[in-house]
Amino acid sequence: MIKSEIIAHIPCPIEKIWDIVTKLHNTTWRSDLKKVEILSEKSFVEYTNGGYATKFTITDCRPPYFWAFDMENGNMTGHWEGHFVPDGDGTRLTFTEHVSPKHWWMRPLIPGYLKKQQKLYMDDLRRELLK
């Protein structure tokens, strides 16, 4: 399994950040997504702008401090955890992914791809929260 982690401090209250991140029906702030299909309280599918689907199954939810889910698509399986911690004038976020590629040749590409995706997600989140 390949691990990737991003840590950031955003000068916003934890509740505001939690609300944006976990409200799956509002993804207009995500530049990489076309839509999200909510299947149940515990599962949803994200579709990239190109139409590629990834299914997510929520495994733990402790508002507003911790959110975790398993994920799977045609290229990988994995697990994501988000830790939200009040920190001075804002919130410290730690988002961690553990991913296993389904194709051996993808293994060297996964670390760079995950870093790029995590940075894009955090940049989009900052833009939404600080507008």
- What pTM did the predictor assign? 0.94
pLDDT of the chain, 131 residues: tens digit per residue:
999 999 999 999 999 999 999 999 999 999 999 999 999 999 999 999 999 999 999 999 999 999 999 999 999 999 999 999 999 999 999 999 999 999 999 999 999 999 999 999 999 999 999 88
- The answer to whether 81 and 95 are in contact (CB under 8 A) is yes
Instruction: Give the DSSP letter of residue 102.
Output: S
Q: Which domains does the chain have, with CATH numbers?
A: 2-20+60-129 (3.30.530.20)
Contact 129, 8 (CB under 8 A): no
Please count the CA atoms within 13 angstroms of the CA of 43 that sit on its side-chain side. 9
